[in-house]
Amino acid sequence: MSLLQRILSSLGGKDPRKELEERELELLEANVSLTTIERLKESLEKGKSLKEALKEFLKEGRIEGSPVILLVGTNGSGKTTVLAKLSSWFMEKGTPVTAAAADTFRAGSIEQLEEWARKVGFELVKYHYGADPAAVAYEAVKRRKGAVIIDTAGRQETRGDLMRELQKIKKVVNPDLTLMVVDATQGVAALEQAKRFDEKVGVDGFIVTKLDVDEKGGLILSLAVETRKPIYFVSYGQTLDTFSPFSAEDYLNNLL
Ligand SMILES: Nc1nc2c(ncn2[C@@H]2O[C@H](COP(=O)(O)OP(=O)(O)O)[C@@H](O)[C@H]2O)c(=O)[nH]1
Ligand SMILES: [Mg+2]
């Protein structure tokens, strides 16, 4: 049970607005940001139930057809693992996937994708370490047979040069979707990172990972409220099957 679940399940329900206010510190601890708490209180003031108030913020991102998807995010957030899981998801629906090993920076990243490509069966376009990531991504789009998923090196949102590199990839391949992979255990730091990535590169939505090891539970809600962007998928483990399209209903049923 996450901290947020514990807090919400112990609310008496008589005056939820007041209760939220009284338990603000605990909510912050559960990765529910201050802005998020304020917005929830406003909704409750308008007479909405807590479930309705939560639900109006949670948007489900849905993928149609065979898009070109650019995965971005900080180091270790789970981008490469998500690429494998998302490929498997597409392929189960009969859509072939061409992946681009555009993380040409981190040692071992290309081998990690080669291993996933063998397991999952997607086509992998790779160059060599130090190659221009935009060139790898471009090649994958050129050779595509279905969907394209582009892995990128992790980067801090404060590194201007690395953010410009993402802008370049985006300009060269013009992806249908830029999805940021966010580690739920990073808490409020992830929220700030998400805002910066969106400002600098433009993000269409999120894939939230490591929910299996997240003890707090509130990051999805805070991301949804503060960015107003949809959550596309959730990841909750290291195997291919621990990955699903985000369901607001499931998230809420789990919480309340
Ligand atoms: N527990 C857990 N671990 C994950 C999840 N997603 C990724 N990981 C692990 O997090 C680490 C970093 O993942 P990776 O995909 O290499 O991150 P990247 O640097 O963003 O490409 C690896 O050890 C993954 O197995 C998840 O949903 N749950
Ligand atoms: Mg990676």
DSSP annotation of 241 reads T
Atom 6 in ligand 1: residue holding the nearest Cα: 78
Ranking 101-105, 138-142, 252-256 by mean pLDDT, the lowest is 252-256
Q: Are 215 and 2 in contact (CB under 8 A)?
A: yes
Q: How far is the CA of 80 from the centre of ligand 1 (A)?
A: 7
Q: What is the pLDDT of residue 15?
A: 87
Atom 25 in ligand 1: residue holding the nearest Cα: 238
Residue-wise pLDDT tens digits, 172-205? 999 999 999 999 999 989 999 999 999 999 999 9
11 pLDDT above the threshold of 90: no
Q: What is the pLDDT of residue 166?
A: 96
Q: What is the mean pLDDT of the chain?
A: 95
- Based on its alpha-carbon atoms, the radius of gyration of the chain, rounded to whole angstroms, reads 19
| Over residues 240-248, mean pLDDT | 97
pLDDT category, 160, cuts 50, 70, 90? Answer: confident
Closest C-alpha among 138, 76, 142, 156 to residue 101: 138
pLDDT category, 12, cuts 50, 70, 90? Answer: confident
Q: How far is the CA of 114 from the centre of ligand 1 (A)?
A: 16
Q: What percent of the chain lies above the pLDDT cut of 90?
A: 90
What is the domain partition of the chain in residue ranges? Answer: 3-55, 68-255
Closest C-alpha among 97, 73, 66, 60 to residue 178: 73
Within 6 A (CB) of ligand 1 lie 73, 75-81, 154, 181, 209-210, 212-213, 235-238
Q: How far is the CA of 244 from the centre of ligand 1 (A)?
A: 15
* Residues around ligand 2, an ion, CB closer than 5 A: 79-80
Q: How far is the CA of 76 from the centre of ligand 2 (A)?
A: 7
pLDDT category, 24, cuts 50, 70, 90? Answer: very high
What strands lie across the sheet with 231-235, from one edge to the other? 123-125, 97-102, 147-152, 68-72, 177-183, 205-209, 231-235, 243-245
- 68-255: which CATH number, 3.40.50.10320, 3.20.20.80, 3.40.50.300, 2.60.120.10? 3.40.50.300
pLDDT category, 167, cuts 50, 70, 90? Answer: very high
| Over residues 6-23, mean pLDDT | 88
pLDDT category, 78, cuts 50, 70, 90? Answer: very high
Helix orientation angle between 79-92 and 109-120, rounded to the nearest 10 degrees? 20
- Measured in residues, the chain has a length of 256
Q: What is the pLDDT of residue 114?
A: 98
